[in-house]
A = this chain, B = another copy of it.
Amino acid sequence: MGSIWKSRISLSIFGQSHGTAIGMTLDGIPAGEAIDLDKLQAFLLRRAPGRSSLSTSRLEEDVPEFISGLVNGVTCGAPITAIIRNNNIRSSDYSDMTDIPRPSHADFTAHVKHNGFQDKSGGGHFSGRLTAPLCIAGGICLQILERHGIFIGTHIYSIGDVCDCVIDTANINKESLLGLSKMELPVFDPNAAAIIKTEIENARKNLDSIGGIIECIAIGLPAGLGEPIFDGMENRIARLVFAIPAVKGVDFGAGFRAADMRGSEHNDPFYRDGEHIKTRTNHNGGILGGITSGMPLVFRTVIKPTPSIGKVQESVYLSRKDPAVLQIQGRHDPCIVPRAVPCIEAAAAIAIYDALCT
């Protein structure tokens, strides 16, 4: 039931990691929007594995086939459906895991929920691979948002305890923000990039993994988007970013750092800049009362260290009572934070475009 989301626009995500195909249906996009498929593919490539020395060597082609909703590359008002065939599957990578649930994965909870009938191969419907359809939907929304003057940029805020430099989001530089999407490691501070690479390499060498924090910034939003109580921008974005498997937290503006701030420090003073009312600081992340203020919308998500590690781990057998020992084989990312960056952008784009359609 949870794989279809219905709001002003609607999104259905389907498929299992090692099934026939994965895909998505996006409904509610107005007719007449040209979709640049090359640009979309470039966006998907940012998520795909095997593109960097930092990620798994598995190659997922992730070329969507559009089977509905486009006529000559232009939306026709019908739901947009795209599928990606699952070709490059090496099931042996996952062979003996079906009876031993991997710690921190959904193997155990999927087993309980679906009474053992879940697709056990490669994480099934719970696999991170299901973020590919999310990125198709998000990539489409991003293209349309740009026509409304709304742009989204995302940087790695931290990996382990290595932080990128802190950004004054009240005065963001558009060019440097948009330049992030072209970087292998999207950070503002080049020194941070180098240290982060080392951190990730160290995790790999130790058969371990490492987490991090991603900060996403949307500029050009008009004031007034979002609805009070249950459908504010925070509610909407939060609901969508938790569709990405490894996300375990989200905060807006100063977020958790607001806990030890005083009101006099956290409050963003209003001032007039010509015709516009702006705030001097942006601790509220461009959202007040759930509604956009016109300042950059800023949120962070935390990505847990990827659970698939090479180290020996304690687990159980689902079918018998003696303790199990698990050693995961195969090609896995030591750090999925870089690949999660476009997924976060996708979720943000969908949430923002949906609010814009209200």
**A residues with CB within 8 A of B:** 1-6, 8-16, 19-23, 25, 27-28, 30-32, 65-69, 71, 74-81, 83, 101, 103-106, 108-110, 112-115, 117-119, 124-126, 130, 158-161, 203, 206, 208-213, 223-224, 226-232, 234-236, 238-240, 242-243, 245, 247-256, 258-272, 277, 279-280, 283-285, 287-294, 302-309, 311, 313-316, 321, 323-324, 358
Contacts and interface: CB of A to CB of B under 8 A. Distances in A.
A251 to B, nearest CB: 3
Residue among A1, A279, A284 having the largest count of chain B Cβ atoms under 10 Å: A1
A242 B248 contact: no
Given A79-B12, A125-B76, A243 B256 contact: no
Contacts of A293: 108-109
A284 B307 CA distance: 11
Contacts of A289: 105-106, 109-110, 126, 245
A117 B77 contact: yes
Given A25-B4, A68-B14, A242-B232, A279 B79 contact: no
B211 A1 contact: no
In the complex this chain forms, how many copies of it are found? 4
A294 B112 CA distance: 10
A133 B226 CA distance: 21
A266 B117 contact: no
Tell which of A15, A288, A324 has the most Cβ of chain B within 10 Å.
A288
Across the A-B interface, give the 5 residue pairs with the lowest CB-CB distance, nearest first: A106-B289, A249-B251, A2-B227, A2-B231, A209-B263
A16 B78 contact: yes
B3 A229 contact: yes
Contact of A239 (B104, B239, B283): B239
A336 B260 CA distance: 13
A12 B231 CA distance: 12
12 contacts: A2-B230, A14-B27, A14-B78, A15-B81, A32-B115, A103-B279, A109-B291, A110-B289, A245-B289, A254-B304, A263-B309, A267-B307
B259 A213 contact: yes
Contacts of A258: 211, 248-249, 302-305
